[in-house]
Amino acid sequence: MTPPRLLVAKIGSSTLVDGEGALDRRFIRSLCDQVAQLVSEGTRVIVVSSGAAAAGRDILGFTERPSDIATLQACAAAGQARLTQAYADVLAERGIPCAQVLLTRRDVMDRDGFLNARTTLARLLELGAVPVVNENDTVSTAEFAFGDNDMLGALVAALAGADLYVICSDVDGLFTANPQEDPDARLIERVSEVDARLSAMAGGAGTSFGTGGMSSKLRAARAMLAAGIPTAICRGRRERVLLDVAHGEAVGTRFEAPAGAAHEGGRKLWIGLAEVPRGTIALDEGATRAVLERGASILPVGVISTTGTYAAGDVVNVRASTGDVIGRGIARYSSDDMARVRGVHLDVVARFLGQDRAQPAVHRDDLLVF
């Protein structure tokens, strides 16, 4: 198998720390050894690393994850320097520069910010550096937070044009049931579509050191399927895990769209991954089929309900008739107008709002279907 040109590896907090909550430097050394070997083979690597808040808890003397935002951000501030330095020290021994990149969703919400982040990462890779990316937890607010680094890693993989996204976790992959409770649970080795049945297999939140559970990993993998970027969810402490995944070994659960499947472009990925949804529109069965099977725009007549407060031009979630979120797109009506035009044909919309206002609720060009 040809090695990937660019690999993005997301390392979860529970993988990075030891049982006491301190950074596991032996593991970081092993991880950096794998990164160095990949670089020597011609693969550029971006590391999306959690662990700043967990490292800061150790520094500031907390034994449990704080519940208030101010203390969590203080822990992130105290731990971020130690986290980056841990990577930088080991990579420097191997002659590889390390660069810290801190992002919030606010940084990439506008198209220019998205492109600037992409340009910076590309230049760092050209210069032979390994970017270590984390959310800027010290200044993130709930509105602009990624929520977990699984989705941040997906965004980085999309904007950098990665060939492979690896989510290193504390589990072996996606199972048919909870393996700790069901002895018959089996590992799902390959996935080509994330549907409602698969989503139901995902559990809740992660450990006391991290925020992401399997459901967040599935959301990230679903976005990567749309982007055409293969994704692997695997146990991060497995020996040679990054090397084996990069070399095509069957490790964990691999998500990959079928050969020949259409992939979304950068603008739609920006809509789906970077923007904050301001509301939700729900579709009837006919509109759901039109979007999923025929690649149609969403017409007002197919919208059965709208929630949230948004303006024309804001991003909204799109919910299918089954209740599943199937995509995200730019609304062409405000929430007030959407409530007026839902269920109405365009000729009727033109009669009441004017011909220039009679348009799709969400145009296909502005819609990312997961």
- Asked if CATH classification 3.50.90.10 holds for the domain at 6-266, the reply, yes or no, is no
Residues 6+ apart with CB under 8 A from 231: 154, 164, 165, 166, 167, 220, 221, 224, 225, 254, 255, 256
Per-residue confidence (pLDDT) for residue 203, from 0 to 100: 55
Listing DSSP states for 52-103 in one string gives HHHHHHHHHT-SS--SSHHHHHHHHHHHHHHHHHHHHHHHHHTT--EEEEEE
- The string of pLDDT tens digits covering residues 244-288 is 999 999 999 999 987 766 666 666 777 777 667 899 999 999 999
Low-confidence residues of the chain, pLDDT below 50?
A: 141-146, 204-212
Show the DSSP H helices in the chain as ranges.
Answer: 13-16, 25-40, 52-60, 69-93, 105-109, 111-126, 149-160, 196-200, 214-227, 241-246, 266-273, 285-294, 335-341, 346-353
CATH top-level class of 277-369: mainly beta
Alpha carbon 316 to its chain's center: 17
Quote the DSSP letter at residue 277. Answer: P
Per-residue confidence (pLDDT) for residue 142, from 0 to 100: 45
Domain boundaries, the chain: 6-266, 277-369
Assign residue 107 a region (left: φ > 0; alpha: ψ between -120 and 50; beta: otherwise): alpha
Per-residue confidence (pLDDT) for residue 218, from 0 to 100: 87
Per-residue confidence (pLDDT) for residue 131, from 0 to 100: 97
Per-residue confidence (pLDDT) for residue 115, from 0 to 100: 83
Report the C-alpha gap between 146 and 143 in whole angstroms: 9
* Amino acid letter for position 348: V
Per-residue confidence (pLDDT) for residue 324, from 0 to 100: 84
Per-residue confidence (pLDDT) for residue 32, from 0 to 100: 96
Provide the 3-class DSSP secondary structure of residue 140: coil
- The string of pLDDT tens digits covering residues 109-128 is 667 777 888 899 999 999 99
Report the C-alpha gap between 100 and 77 in whole angstroms: 14
Report the C-alpha gap between 60 and 45 in whole angstroms: 31
Per-residue confidence (pLDDT) for residue 22, from 0 to 100: 78
- Other CB atoms within a 10 A radius of the CB of residue 330 amount to 19
Per-residue confidence (pLDDT) for residue 144, from 0 to 100: 37
